[in-house]
Amino acid sequence: MTSKDSDLRDLEKNQPIGNADSNSNGIQNLTSRYSNHDSKELNETVHLIDEEIEFPEGGWEAYKVVAGGFFTLMITFGLMNTIGAIQAYLTNHQLKNESSSTIGWTFSIHYLVAYAFCLIAGPLFDWKGGRLCAIIGSILLVAGLFITANCDEVYQILLAYGFIVGSGTCLLYTSGLGAVSHYFKRKRATALGISSLGGSVGGVVWPLMLRQLYPKIGYVWSMRVLALCCGICASLACLSVKSRLKKQKEDVIIEKNPIKFMNSSLALRDLFKEKRFLYLTFSIFFCEFSLLMVMTYITSYTIHQGYSESQGFLVLIILNAIGLLGRVIPKYLGDVYGSFNIMIATVGSCAIFILAIWLPFGHNLSVLYAFAGLYGFSSSSTLSLTPVTCGQISRTEDFGKRYGTVYFISSFGNLLALPIGGALIKDGPNGFQNFIILAGVTEVVSVVFFILARYECVGMKWAKI
């Protein structure tokens, strides 16, 4: 039996698979990884890997955690899906004298912190569990929103929304997604799909609420109402989120050296030892790069085409509303046909919709509405399947660390996405055309890396992966 046949057998059992090279290489890598531990610790570690961990796969506690994940993602990913509405308003009002590139940097910092802070959030989740992460994240996010309401300068928004809300966002979504993975294995894709519905619900509710509140009570009180609503959802999340598998305190090493700290907090070595993990990281990097540009600037694009601010918000709302279906249906299909297979199909669909519909026909409002619905379905699928694909090639107790690594790397793409997009938009009459082309091309690159990651697992044969 070849190594990839063995990998295929493990995947069909929904087990994290070993190194794609050979079983002996996997044992050598494991021995090398724990070479600094004594023989007793090494034996305990090998026993932990070989031991079958039981998952509830249901029950009151498990479903309560799924509900908690829903509320964490309604706040975090919901706000991320709402940035287009906030950015468009600030561009035309408080920050109207600032360039699109400068405003882009402001919100890029938010995404950088939201993902790069996984350097701390991932290991903290693995050690202390989801509830502590959720409580700290809730305090930071809600406080940051209240502060943002009173900001009218770029540096103020950068500090409040970029750093404070960003760090709270990271802690909250890490706790929500990670805790669900501790209760489900066979039904993990479906459970995460239900939780990730919160991102699309938030992406509909928050822009719709701001659309109604902006003209009635103004920006300041609109943001305060948003903060209050997020606070209520955060309280429910803190009561519901609870993880099962924790690392022991003596297994957690806090390094004072920054480089050693990064090595201990992130699965950086896995990027070089496992090609499938490296390719998966790159695929999510480019997918997030494209998605962030589209989600942030599609409202501004609609307004640029001569339509009203309200119609621009409506395009974003449609995108997020149809995303509700994209959070659930592909997750179910992922359980049936394999998450990697469905991920390749949905990311490929995103590329087609951008290059074949938005690029040539985006000036038409009806086409924009149609594109928003199609793209919203596919893009939501990629967001909801990302933790599943990562978990599929990771040990459960290392999920937080490896998932944090993926988004730590992706955060640097997010840092560049909005400034680059803003610069292209302002670069002459064809600015938005060039912007759309870049968004489509990066989706194509993402598909290529997803295919390579799948190849490293099972080769070219058809398999449920």
303-331 pLDDT, tens digit each: 989 998 889 989 999 998 998 888 778 87
C-alpha 162/C-alpha 110 separation (Å) is 4
Question: pTM of the prediction?
Answer: 0.75
Integer-rounded Cα radius of gyration of the chain:
22
34: pLDDT strictly greater than 50 = no
Residue 4 lies in a domain: no
Q: Give 54-80 pLDDT, tens digit per residue.
A: 766 777 788 888 899 899 999 998 998
Task: Supply the DSSP symbol for 426.
Answer: T
C-alpha 194/C-alpha 190 separation (Å) is 6
Residues 33-46 have a mean pLDDT of: 34
pLDDT attached to residue 334: 82
Residues 280-289 have a mean pLDDT of: 94
Residue 249 lies in a domain: yes
Number of domains in the chain: 1
C-alpha 118/C-alpha 76 separation (Å) is 14
Task: Supply the DSSP symbol for 358.
Answer: I
DSSP 114-178: HHHTHHHHHHHHHHH-HHHHHHHHHHHHHHHHHHHHT--SHHHHIIIIIIIIHHHHHHHHHHHHH
Amino acid at 251: D
CATH code of the domain containing 174: 1.20.1250.20
Range of the domain at 270: 58-458
Residue 464 lies in a domain: no
**Which of these ranges, 153-157, 172-176, 402-406, has the smallest mean pLDDT?**
402-406
Residue 463 lies in a domain: no
Taking the CA of residue 342 as centre, how many other CA atoms within 13 Å lie in the half-sphere pointing to its CB? 28
Residue 465 lies in a domain: no
Amino acid at 127: W
- Tell the residue number behind the tokens 């498990």, with chain if given: 62
Amino acid at 144: G
Residue 315 · residue 208 · CB < 8 Å: no
- Mean pLDDT of the chain, nearest integer: 81
Which residue in 33, 8, 35 sits closest to 393, CA to CA? 8
Residue 38 lies in a domain: no
Residue 14 lies in a domain: no
Residue 402 · residue 277 · CB < 8 Å: yes
C-alpha 294/C-alpha 319 separation (Å) is 10
Amino acid at 44: E
Angle at 130 between CA 128 and CA 131, to 5 degrees: 95
Residue 235 lies in a domain: yes
C-alpha 379/C-alpha 129 separation (Å) is 29
C-alpha 254/C-alpha 260 separation (Å) is 9
pLDDT band of residue 119 (cuts 50, 70, 90) is confident
pLDDT attached to residue 191: 81
**Which of these ranges, 18-32, 135-149, 170-184, 378-392, has the smallest mean pLDDT?**
18-32
- Burial level of 36, CB count in 10 A (0-12/13-18/19+)? exposed
Identify the helix (H) or strand (E) that includes residue 400. Answer: helix 399-425
Residue 174 · residue 315 · CB < 8 Å: no
Contacts of 34 (CB under 8 A, 6+ apart): 41, 42, 45
